[in-house]
Chain A
Amino acid sequence: MTIYSWAGRVRGLFADNKGPWGTPPSGGGGDTPPGNEPQSPWGQPAKPRPTGGRSSVSSLDDFLKKSRGRLGGGGGSGRGFGGMGGRPDRSLFVWGAIGLAALWFLFTTMHVIAPEERGVVTRFGRYSHTLGPGVGLTLPSPIDRVQKVNVEEIREIALGSAAEETLMLTGDQNIIDIAYQVRWNIRDPEQFLYELAAPEDTIRQVAESAMRQVVAQFSLNDAIGNQRGQIESRVQEEMQQTLDSYDSGVVIQGVAVRQADPPAAVNEAFKDVTAAQQDAQREVNGSNAYALQLRQIAQGEATAFDKVYEQYRLAPEVTRRRMYYETMERVLRGVDKTIVETPGVTPYLPLPQMGRPAPAAPAAPAQPQGAGR
Chain B
Amino acid sequence: MIDFVRRHTLASGFIAFVLLIAIFSSVSVVPETRQGIVTSFGKPVRIVNRFKQGEQIGQTGAGLAFRIPFVERIDWIDKRVRDIDMERQQVLSTDQLRLEVDAFARYRIVDPLRMYIAARGREENVETALRPILGSQLRNELGKRPFASLLSPEREGVMENIRIGLNRAARQYGAEIIDVRIKKADLPSGTPLESAYERMRSARTQEARSIRAEGSKRAQIIRAEADALAAQTYAAAFGKDPEFYDFYRAMQSYQTTFLGDGKNQPANTNIVMSPDNSYLKEFSGR
B is bound to A: yes
A residues with a Cβ closer than 8 A to B are 1, 4, 7, 11, 48-51, 53, 56-57, 61-63, 65-66, 69-70, 76, 122-129, 167-169, 171, 173-175, 190-191, 193-198, 201-202, 205-206, 208-209, 212-213, 216-217, 220, 242, 245-247, 262-263, 265-266, 268-270, 272-273, 275-277, 279-284, 286-288, 290-292, 294-295, 297-299, 301-303, 305-306, 308-309, 312, 316, 320, 323-324, 327-328, 330-332, 334-342, 351-352, 354, 357-358, 360, 362-363, 365-368, 371
Q: Are B62 and A276 in contact (CB under 8 A)?
A: no
Residues of A contacting B258 with CB < 8 Å?
331, 334-335
Least Cβ–Cβ distance between A355 and chain B, in angstroms:
8
* Given the contacts A272-B208, A368-B251, A202 and B83 also touching, CB distance less than 8 Å: yes
Which residue on chain A has the smallest CB distance to residue B219?
Answer: A287
Interface string of B243-286 (1 = CB under 8 A from A): 01101100110110011101100101111111110011001000
How far in angstroms is the closest Cβ of chain B from A304? Answer: 9
- In contact, B238 and A305 (Cβ under 8 angstroms): yes
A171 cross-chain contacts in B, Cβ below 8 A: 151-152
In Å, the complex CA distance between A65 and B17 comes to 11
Asked whether, in the complex, the Cβ of A197 is within 8 Å of the Cβ of B82, the reply is: yes
Q: Given that A194-B57, A216-B151, A305-B237 are known contacts, is A357 also in contact with B268, CB under 8 Å in the complex?
A: yes
Is B161 part of the contact surface with A, judged by Cβ < 8 Å?
Answer: no
A266 to B203, CA, bound (A): 11
A276 CA / B204 CA spacing, docked (Å): 10
Question: Which B residue's beta carbon lies closest to that of A292?
Answer: B226
On B, residues with C-beta under 8 Å from A are 1-2, 5-10, 12-14, 16-17, 20, 29-33, 57-58, 60, 62-64, 78-83, 85, 104, 106, 147-148, 151-152, 154-155, 178-179, 181-187, 193, 196-197, 200-201, 203-205, 207-209, 211-212, 214-216, 218-220, 222-223, 225-227, 229-231, 233-234, 236-238, 240-241, 244-245, 247-248, 251-252, 254-255, 258-260, 262-263, 266, 268-276, 279-280, 283
- Interface-central residue, A50, A129, A287, by most chain B CB under 10 Å: A287
Contact, CB under 8 Å: A273 / B32: no
Chain A residues with CB under 8 Å of B147's CB are 173
Which of A205, A324, A341 touches B83 (beta carbons < 8 Å)? A205
Chain B residue numbers with a CB within 8 Å of A337 are 270-273
B279 cross-chain contacts in A, Cβ below 8 A: 328, 332
A169 and B204: CB pair below 8 A?
no
| Cβ contact within 8 Å between A123 and B63 | yes
Partner among A61, A287, A335 whose Cβ is within 8 Å of the Cβ of B222 = A287
Contact between A331 and B197 (Cβ–Cβ < 8 Å)? no
B226/A327 in contact, CB under 8 A:
no
A161 to chain B, nearest CB (A): 15
Q: Which residues of B contact A201 (CB under 8 A)?
A: 83
Contacts A209-B183, A335-B258; is A295 near B230 (CB within 8 Å)? yes
Q: Which residues of chain A have C-beta atoms less than 8 A from B178's C-beta?
A: 245-246
In-complex Cβ contact of B81 among A53, A125, A246, A331 (8 A)? A246
Given contacts A169-B185, A309-B240, contact A294 B83 (CB under 8 A): no
